[in-house]
Structure 1
């Protein structure tokens, strides 16, 4: 009997019903993923019937952080309205309903669109907490098997979590196919949730916010102080508690709380499911948070103010956490940290202990009801709320048995928010945790459950790991203090950096050269991939802010992110200058040493480019300065969408000298195809001289850091899989390194003069300083091949020599030294 393969379901077109904040941004992310989106909204009463949808699409271009990988991607979204375009739904493979959280409104819409859905269409709702089974009642019987909840988190481009919630009649095969689409095509972390109020992440996350509000009020702590205590200090996003509520929307937060209040009457914590008076007052005033430019916080002039509920007015947000409490929170021993917090009489320490204690208590009591296992709770909170560690992970790290005893003592003493005892499984004295190599504990099954066995997860050789799970990154080929070269049992070598933020220093350069040699001798090729982001900040900096780590949360604005990157990442010289104790004055001998290091850097990037086996950079997060130059010299770059790539050396008065300028010049020659070089060099000049950083992988491609052949991967956990596939394709095709270019035409002295003339106008207008003019002139000189006649030909080494010479000339200037010194001492750029 012949074997018949299962039918593939291809998702070509997706309709989003509702062009509000979530609907429009879901459509934007579909556009990012090259899925054709239709965005439906009510027909306008006057003018163009699509005006409401068009307004929402236009608004996407103005948001920061942007929901679009490139502003032009807004043009991929097809506006539609319910009066004219319901027939278009027949062409859609998936329809996502994303209108307001009113069950009656949703039911009316379902009855309206159901006749227009084809027999293959998957119909989903993006509800944040309404019952999926109750919503399904408004659908015809033949559609219920293709209906489920698909809950994106805000903002959809940046938040990794999507909760997938089946109704009783949902076809399991539909769920599997949706999960594949969400994971690979949209790049999401999928958690299958039960159909309980607010599902998993909002149920636990919102309770945590309510517990925080309760204990802040009980202990008399200001909102801005609470945010100081509940942000990065405890491994949570900078938006912490009340800023998060502003970002999400105070009305949205209130709606989720109201859902819990109405649907969970028997919950032991039910009396806390209420909207505080101050919050109701803000909502009544229309102060809904970030979208209304006023909420818990408000910007008054240039200063940030915070609501004082007692006064009903705003006061300067200048509260600071107590130094002793900060020292406790920064402790490395998790068990000791929580023991000290519980024992301390300081209100801030008691506050932190209380919010953790009550969240642990809540999670333990409700785990069996809301989730399949503890892993689903922890990953949902990490991916949906941006915590470094989920609640059960922290409990396990703090010592499961000791914490369980503390909880039981506080429950017995009446100190907890609810008096319900811990469930027997959590209080079991033999229990050491809920996460183990074999899986995560499920109270309903009374067993440890492994991860999903769906085929899509074979693309994730190293998924997001939880405390207690084994993480064995292959077999070591060689290892130093700076790098580890390893393999996963196949014929591909992998190089990972061990330096802080994967910065590049001399030891990394030596390790990279050795890895290339090992790959040429024994392997099919070499992949540079970090087990955790970022790819590389370039320099080994004096100080690198922990806030730069990409934990899944978007920056408040991308411009602010770029400012931090330019302050904290520049050229390799910073490491050398600091190590030689010459921040005050760079002596001639030191300059000679630095020049040798720069030459070593160039040798390394050239070795990546001309290796006899293919090299692939698998990039996630930041790839700045020298990290960007590594990427540009590999045969392929496989890049996650949320990667920020750029040459930022101009920020400290230098230029890229690891081959970055040279590569831009070569790419300009290739693009010109024998024609005028200047237009292509002009784009390269603007990118390098202004230190532009790509706002996404697609933007990095538009800036010239990536090539057309460099694939963008939506799911960062699939990077290594795709990188291996790319490398194998190169090798199987009979890979040969590129031939070294020996006759490269240059734009020469006339192009340099044109660049300088343009900068003179900027200088005279006060837009740049004299030193900026000098830096720009050096960039122009290198890109144009020096003071040669236009059309003269040179080789690659000529460009490398120009780079190195210009770099050293700038380094020798007093103003560049001042900029470097300022960066090393203050972490801030100096305009001089």
Structure 2
């Protein structure tokens, strides 16, 4: 059956329901968002003479919830306008409207009786054959279908989104024994392709996969920290970015999410897992019980493991909870010898062996925690899933771990991991010993064809991971010898089918000489023996921009000839790429800032992940975009002049975008800001971006791509427009909205975009604008206040307004 999702009903408009509705609206689906009608009037409603039957009253709860979601930060919407796809209503009047929906998702309060009662009402209106799912984090899925029809049961499934649904990639699919396998396959595929999720098939066991293992890991950390004698701050240092977890680590994350959530899930697992060998880990330690009783629940109550207080001089400071005394004290700086050994190691995987080898408390903590985690996950197969990779997928996508438990174990070495367990008096499940005895020394490997495989316990052999055939993982290609050229900052890889890829692998994928050399080499090789080029990587960010430290050092030492050459090389590389004889496709994701944005501006097509944050941010450090960004935005604006809108309005809008350093909050918004154009594409699942970019390069090549010619007819407006800009900027400065240095930068930006001091509107070339760009950039590098701004970003990470 060819199933299409055109309209979705979301039942329940709380935090999860409203945001699930927003994410469906993001991808273009019409949404019906329903909730209960209020039982009492508000005082304001009584004053207006309204009754409980008035539509504005009946829809008060759902409308308020939706507006709160739209106003929240970070936004659940790609664009605010996407909210127009959501229609609201109430269960009394509008439940009948689910008859026109292809999928009904229940997201009401976590009580089985309420869910079952709602499903009884739903069945009266639901069209047979349509999907019906429940978003629950703990209630057994099979209990919800008691008393329902065969058609309902056949099309019913658990779909556990993680909050916030737009940003957290995990979607657990939990079927019942009666769910049609075709429905399960459809949900796994739809979640991946359309919703951009890592879809994981889970069994109907308490807390499913991610929360079962993730909450165990958190609770086990609480146990081990007491055993080893560690503080809150020390644990957060040990469980953050150094092991590929979020910067908020264990306790700061708990404060943000709310300790009541952790307490409720842990209590539920403690009660619901009588046969779990580690069930005692889910018992709340005394300090957590006391915090719950005292309502020290984190950010929502003003204090948790941390508390913000006013210190001397009214300055805010963070205090940490001393778990021994249950009193707050100033947060202390943390230093461990073990962590010092890993500072020079940029890649995550090699760190783990160094961490477990530590001789201090940190090393002891890691040995105990990894031994415990590894033993736990081996015993969860086949209880919660049949395949080990699903546990890794769930922890990466749901908890933000860069590497899952089995991937971490592989990094340490499987045999070494077993030895860690044995030293702590633990044993892995029998299948691990059988795997090692059979000569299989890792949980994952890459086949000769570049396909990632996992050790399948049932067949006792390596099998391909489901769905990865739709992704291009550059590490897998690297492992099979597909690297044609590389230096310290970039590599050129063969993607197959005549398409090359330039990958950045500098810190934060910043753009220095090595990366520029890589781009030029990619173009050269592609023109010689291939038919297209992709600029993409699998890093956390596409690129945070140019190597600002290098710019700062050269400017500080007044090496202006070197700076001029460096900028010219970047500009020339962008033009070489833009006017090559083969199509070039940009594949951004995450941050694509400054030079990272400029690279994409000069591609023939951009295939961007939906979560792409693109912008020309140079103004924030006292500079202007000089890698062709100002030129290209001016050129793109000039191309719009024939569309009828007043030309000065168009160029003013572009000027504002650059001078306020606007960054898109999504790829969709990048279109609004002019960083992406008609013909560019958005891919919701970031794992698919490079594969889709490769397909776009092939499409352009097969359509008969012709080498373009540099433009010499870019209309600029000269003195008239320049006077307008300068007047506006002066007024902003006089009104104290901007500083005198901001005025100087803005005037230089306007000078470039107007084509300089021309007496009348004139047509100029791209090279003319590039030269103006470079000249302005160099002059600003000689300004003390610009250097102060760059220094502030480099040393504190915060912009300076001077």
Q: What is the TM-score of this pair, normalised by structure 1?
A: 0.87
TM-aligned CA deviation for residue 283 of structure 1: 4.5
Tell me if the contact between 1:525 and 1:613 (Cα under 8 Å) persists in the aligned partners.
Answer: yes
| Aligned equivalent of 2:600, options 628, 631, 643 | 631
CA deviation string 1:222-275 (max 9, x = no partner): 333322221112221112112222333333222322221222112222233233
CA deviation string 1:256-312 (max 9, x = no partner): 222212221122222332334544555456554445554433433533334445555
CA deviation string 1:90-111 (max 9, x = no partner): 1211111122221111111111
Q: 5 Å matches for 1:612-691?
A: 612-673=581-642, 675-691=645-661
- Alpha-carbon distance in 2 for matches of 1:668, 1:340: 58
In structure 2, what is the equivalent of residue 381 of structure 1? 395
In structure 1, what is the equivalent of residue 429 of structure 2? 423
Matched, 1:797 2:763: no
In structure 1, what is the equivalent of residue 96 of structure 2? 87
- C-alpha change, 1:506 and 1:335, in structure 2 (3 Å) is closer
- Alpha-carbon distance in 2 for matches of 1:357, 1:404: 8
SS in 1 for 2:501: strand
- C-alpha change, 1:410 and 1:177, in structure 2 (3 Å) is same
- Alpha-carbon distance in 1 for matches of 2:410, 2:441: 7
Q: 5 Å matches for 1:320-335?
A: 320-327=333-340, 330=343, 334=351
Tell me if the contact between 1:322 and 1:348 (Cα under 8 Å) persists in the aligned partners.
Answer: no
CA deviation string 1:146-178 (max 9, x = no partner): 111111112211111111111101111111111
- Alpha-carbon distance in 1 for matches of 2:270, 2:223: 16
- C-alpha change, 1:154 and 1:694, in structure 2 (3 Å) is same
CA deviation string 1:467-501 (max 9, x = no partner): xx785467344444443333233122322234333
Q: 5 Å matches for 1:506-585?
A: 506-542=513-549, 574-575=550-551, 578=553, 582=554, 584-585=556-557
Tell me if the contact between 1:368 and 1:442 (Cα under 8 Å) persists in the aligned partners.
Answer: no
| Aligned equivalent of 1:811, options 757, 781, 785 | 781
TM-aligned CA deviation for residue 533 of structure 1: 3.9
Tell me if the contact between 1:328 and 1:340 (Cα under 8 Å) persists in the aligned partners.
Answer: no
- C-alpha change, 1:511 and 1:450, in structure 2 (3 Å) is closer
- Alpha-carbon distance in 2 for matches of 1:444, 1:748: 73
- C-alpha change, 1:51 and 1:766, in structure 2 (3 Å) is same
SS in 1 for 2:634: helix
In structure 1, what is the equivalent of residue 26 of structure 2? 32
| Aligned equivalent of 1:232, options 235, 241, 251 | 241
CA deviation string 1:56-86 (max 9, x = no partner): 1111233222222223323322212111111
In structure 2, what is the equivalent of residue 4 of structure 1? none
Greater RCO, 1 or 2 (C-alpha within 8 Å, sep 6+)? 1
- C-alpha change, 1:667 and 1:331, in structure 2 (3 Å) is closer
In structure 2, what is the equivalent of residue 371 of structure 1? 385
- Alpha-carbon distance in 2 for matches of 1:697, 1:380: 25
- C-alpha change, 1:89 and 1:526, in structure 2 (3 Å) is same
Q: What is the TM-score of this pair, normalised by structure 2?
A: 0.90
- C-alpha change, 1:507 and 1:209, in structure 2 (3 Å) is closer
Tell me if the contact between 2:309 and 2:317 (Cα under 8 Å) persists in the aligned partners.
Answer: yes
SS in 2 for 1:734: coil
Unaligned runs of 5+ in 2: 42-55, 311-315, 448-452
SS in 2 for 1:488: strand
Matched, 1:700 2:670: yes
User: Aligned-residue CA RMSD in angstroms?
Assistant: 2.6
In structure 2, what is the equivalent of residue 566 of structure 1? none
Q: 5 Å matches for 1:134-149?
A: 134-149=143-158
- C-alpha change, 1:696 and 1:445, in structure 2 (3 Å) is same
CA deviation string 1:498-523 (max 9, x = no partner): 43333222343343234323333433
- C-alpha change, 1:757 and 1:77, in structure 2 (3 Å) is same
TM-aligned CA deviation for residue 768 of structure 1: 2.2
SS in 2 for 1:368: coil
Q: How many residues align?
A: 769
In structure 1, what is the equivalent of residue 724 of structure 2? 754
Tell me if the contact between 2:511 and 2:596 (Cα under 8 Å) persists in the aligned partners.
Answer: yes
- Alpha-carbon distance in 2 for matches of 1:110, 1:350: 51
In structure 2, what is the equivalent of residue 390 of structure 1? 404
| Aligned equivalent of 1:18, options 12, 30, 37 | 12
- Alpha-carbon distance in 2 for matches of 1:99, 1:225: 38
Tell me if the contact between 2:478 and 2:493 (Cα under 8 Å) persists in the aligned partners.
Answer: no
| Aligned equivalent of 1:337, options 354, 370, 378 | 354
| Aligned equivalent of 1:462, options 464, 473, 476 | 473
In structure 2, what is the equivalent of residue 77 of structure 1? 86
Tell me if the contact between 1:234 and 1:329 (Cα under 8 Å) persists in the aligned partners.
Answer: no
- Alpha-carbon distance in 2 for matches of 1:633, 1:85: 49
Tell me if the contact between 1:201 and 1:377 (Cα under 8 Å) persists in the aligned partners.
Answer: yes
In structure 1, what is the equivalent of residue 213 of structure 2? 204
In structure 2, what is the equivalent of residue 253 of structure 1? 262
CA deviation string 1:305-362 (max 9, x = no partner): 344455555444x133233242256585556535434xx3x44443333222221221
- Alpha-carbon distance in 1 for matches of 2:522, 2:565: 21
In structure 1, what is the equivalent of residue 137 of structure 2? 128
CA deviation string 1:537-567 (max 9, x = no partner): 221244xxxxxxxxxxxxxxxxxxxxxxxxx
